């Protein structure tokens, strides 16, 4: 039996000084039960916890470690910069290099502003959209996550097209009133909201591939129809590519689907594991952003040199070696095929969603295409699956509603071990 004694001790200690013992809620294991694992190091495809247990990592820091942990080129870049100082609070050439590199890879991107997190990027993009259009309302989708800014912590009201209501204490009803909820992959729900709020909507924001209710790709025509609708009504289309940017393709979801957004938010991969975010888009829109325009946004550590060099090293590797995307997609496909065989042999209901190197497992008999269908999964069964895999050295997201992120360091042996473990822990499941 795997020992987690040091993690248990650390968690007990952490709860005395940190709310819930963690600095981000999903880490608390509330969705799966048990004690969160405390890690001390990682290399390549593997994590090592405080009890010296080794795990194959299928989270990769929620996406950014696409090249694997402690990639030598990234580590060397950070080491060299650390000797020159961590931060200046002033412009550096590194910011220009990363901006130019991102613009060279992402279709239609003309300008970009660096920030410190995905939350900050999405919050700033919404403010810019409102300032540019002169409108106040936005449309978001149930089950999409854009960080913890007030505008995004909204849940559905009494019906699919009603005004949203706050999903967290501290979010005012006034803020909620400007956020309208639509159903993901349901274009008609969006069209109805737009028609009921003519000339009031500044932007539609969405994850082009959802990752916070499991991996849920867009249905055919969904993104294309949103683009047309926005053009018809003078609404800005915002792609939240914090997860998908530079993970699904060098140019992210825009390249993969051939649909261009007006504003795009980034994070995770662009910093190679460092805290970072960015939002970019058309030059005519960004002319309204301070200091050139009246829409204010600022950040003391924005463009932090350590994050910039880590991002430059990571994205340069991806740009110069595009076969990485084919490799991790093939690896993820092998995982999918293996798990399907195991689950099929067990004869219990399941769904596996995958796109590129994003994948998720849902224990339900119905296709998972939106938040409502994702919620129909068997959560207790996922808990059993999660802990069974964890006890045999496979680290999955500690929630049934999160995508897995596969890294380039995962080997065929790692895949085979994962499938063998899944087969072993489900052999006695009863239905």
Catalytic residues: 145, 240, 268
β-pairing, 236-240 vs 263-267, is parallel
Please name which of 149, 377, 157 lies closest in space to residue 277, comparing C-alpha atoms.
149
For residue 81, give the nearest of 312, 332, 252, 254 by alpha carbon: 312
User: Which stretches does DSSP call E strand in 192-339?
Assistant: 201-206, 236-240, 263-267, 277-281
- Whole-angstrom Cα distance, residue 369 to residue 210? 9
Q: For residue 166, give both structure tokens.
A: 């706050």
- Rounded Cα distance between 129 and 204, Å, is 10
Backbone φ and ψ for 159, nearest 5 degrees, come out as: -150, 170
Beta-carbon contacts of residue 171 (< 8 Å; ≥ 6 apart): 150, 153, 154
CB-based contacts of 96, cutoff 8 Å, min separation 6: none
Query: How long a stretch of residues is the chain?
Result: 431
Q: How far is CA 287 from the centre of its chain?
A: 28
What does residue 327 show for φ and ψ, rounded to 5 degrees? -65, -50
Question: Nearest to residue 60, comparing CAs of 421, 357, 392?
Answer: 357
String of DSSP letters for 128-141: HHHHHH---EEEEE
Q: What is the CA radius of gyration of the chain?
A: 21
- Distance from chain centroid for Cα 156: 21
Q: Which residues contact 286 (CB under 8 A, 6 or more apart)?
A: 110, 111, 113, 128, 280, 292
Q: Which residues pair with 39 in a beta bridge?
A: 49
**Nearest to 156, CA basis, from 128, 193, 188:** 193
Q: Cα angle at 431 between 398 and 334, to 5 degrees?
A: 50
- In angstroms, the CA 332 to CA 355 distance is 9
């Amino acid at each position: 039996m795997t020992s987690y004694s040091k993690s248990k001790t650390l968690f007990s200690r952490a709860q005395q000084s940190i709310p819930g013992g963690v600095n981000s809620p999903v880490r608390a294991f509330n969705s799966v039960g048990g004690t969160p694992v405390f890690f001390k190091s990682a290399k390549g495809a593997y994590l090592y916890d405080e009890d010296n247990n080794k795990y194959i990592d299928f989270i990769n820091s929620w996406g950014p470690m696409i090249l694997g942990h402690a990639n030598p080129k990234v580590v060397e870049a950070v080491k060299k910069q650390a000797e020159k100082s961590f931060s200046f609070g002033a412009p550096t050439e590194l910011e220009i290099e990363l901006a130019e590199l991102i613009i060279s890879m992402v279709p239609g991107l003309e300008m970009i502003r660096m920030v410190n997190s995905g939350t900050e990027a999405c919050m700033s993009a919404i403010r810019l959209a409102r300032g540019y259009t002169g409108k106040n309302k936005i449309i978001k989708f149930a089950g999409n996550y854009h960080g913890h800014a007030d505008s995004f912590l909204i849940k559905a009201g009494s019906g699919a097209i009603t005004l949203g209501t706050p999903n967290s204490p501290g979010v005012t009803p006034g803020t909620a009133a400007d956020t309208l909820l639509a159903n993901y992959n349901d274009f008609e729900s969006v069209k109805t909201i737009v028609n009921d709020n003519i000339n009031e909507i500044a932007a539609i924001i969405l994850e082009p591939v959802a990752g916070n209710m499991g991996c849920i790709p867009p249905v055919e025509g969904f993104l294309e129809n949103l683009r047309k609708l926005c053009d018809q009504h003078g609404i800005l289309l915002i792609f939240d590519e914090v997860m998908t940017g530079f993970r699904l393709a060098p140019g992210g979801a825009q390249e993969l689907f051939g649909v261009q957004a007006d504003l795009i938010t980034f994070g995770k991969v662009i910093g190679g594991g460092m805290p970072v975010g960015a939002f970019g888009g058309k030059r005519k829109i960004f002319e309204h952003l301070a200091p050139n325009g009246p829409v204010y946004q600022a950040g003391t550590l924005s463009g932090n040199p350590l994050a910039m060099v880590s991002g430059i090293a990571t994205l340069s590797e991806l740009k110069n070696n595009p076969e990485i995307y084919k490799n991790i997609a093939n690896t993820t496909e092998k995982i999918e095929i293996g798990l399907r065989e195991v689950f099929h042999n067990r004869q219990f209901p399941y769904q596996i969603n995958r796109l590129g190197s994003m994948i998720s497992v849902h224990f339900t008999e119905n296709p998972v295409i939106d938040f409502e269908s994702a919620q129909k999964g068997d959560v207790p069964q996922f808990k059993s699956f999660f802990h069974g895999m964890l006890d045999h050295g496979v680290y999955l997201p500690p929630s049934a509603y999160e995508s897995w992120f596969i890294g380039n360091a995962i080997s065929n042996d790692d895949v085979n071990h994962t499938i063998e473990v899944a087969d072993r822990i489900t052999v006695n499941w009863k239905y």
